[in-house]
Structure 1
């Protein structure tokens, strides 16, 4: 089994647990491939989170932490890949804040095996930290959810175009704190509207972004973190997942773990979504080819369904 997205408390203040123990837990839980993907350092103190401010961090601390992470992760990778029980890929998660961060990520990509291409900010305001900040971001771009979505998917496109990330992180993260209110652009309430039918301008951006990822061969993660945050499905929700399928996109698995207990958390629900809702016959994971280059490997869902891995969820 695989996960392409993880964090540890050693190097990320909003996570818990040691990087070494995260890898050991993944091994114990039956993972064969596990990507280490700590967040890239943010470039300005204005982007510090409360827990980082409490530690009296500056952007310099974030940069130093990230360098320590890369060195530590490479040591773990060399040891574990030699042992052969689990394959470790050393990567990072993009902070798609603005063009400066995207360009900085380009340099990091030269030193890592892969990256998770994500957007966590719109107009320099976090959109997945809490509902108040999500609303603040919405107000900053004109006050409608429709405009906020447009800004999010435009920024996502800039991340995709510049970096061509191996894995596209939580494609529709912008939905996490969406408020169930009246939409002045359509006159409809939250539950009565769909992006495809009611926001065609937003949907066209989604279609464009999906198309670009399909063209360069990136993977769309099916990310189980959404379930632990209250969703019935992983990211992305069914409407976008079906568009990815329609365009021939490839999906990968991620738990987006931030502590030991989240490694593989809700994977049985993720798998039910993959098999019984999306009806996927294949899933993909990153690996190394015989030359040491990162490659994409196809797996049959019918074969993965037979793994003893699933016994832990009974």
Structure 2
């Protein structure tokens, strides 16, 4: 029997992806792509990746840039803690490692936002280091191929998959870039979650899931819980020259560091909040239709409440609060729901 690694390498040479913009032996470019690809599809990432490289061509340039600039380019990509970690990691690479990414996956995993699997991928692609990866695609491939039941997010199951991934590495370290890419590509294009193309898979002959007809049962899905529901009222405060008030959110938490609309608990709080916080006399207009934004762990119902400022709007004295023109707001780092609202 040809080894697991040899079959993957043979398949990758003919059927794998070879034209992705980050497929270069450059640790900065590989790291940037790996962070962007967490929780995000390749087709979505490519234009963001290209814009980032144009604006931040090196880790030193990224480290020296204001966080606001990084968040503005990240706007719309979601999971904004990745952008904050990206900036913090760039600073760490410059200050601790002299602007060069280390080759050791253990050291790479110390960077903010870089876990064990991401560190191994960076080391494999950039330096041909033999270290296993275990992202979502690889977990699915290994769980099906080896017939491993149990939710991969459980520690015991995850540890079992790590040991299996370690045992399947190719003998030659120079094969690590192609082998690592092969695992990602097989999971993304063949061993997909809902419609796996088993007849096109190089592992079909000894895949336990295929032999037992359990392709759609493995890996075992996460036990479902009811999705929590939350709601908020977002104030669309416009001054006498048509500018919109935005406030910068705290650096951690949902939309951390982004510019967003002020929030209140109820539409009835709009007038009092504007008067007490900013000395504004406002006229609430009819609320716009509610819309829902779904996060990983909860659903947020947003009520947009437009208000017009009746008095000449004073300069805002509160830190982290500014007036934006519509175009300036769209160019800033803003959450996806606000971007959708403004483009309507």
Q: How would you bin the TM-score normalised by the shorter chain?
A: under 0.3
- Please say which structure displays the higher CA radius of gyration: 2
TM-score (norm 2): 0.26
| Greater percentage in strand | 1
TM-score (norm 1): 0.27
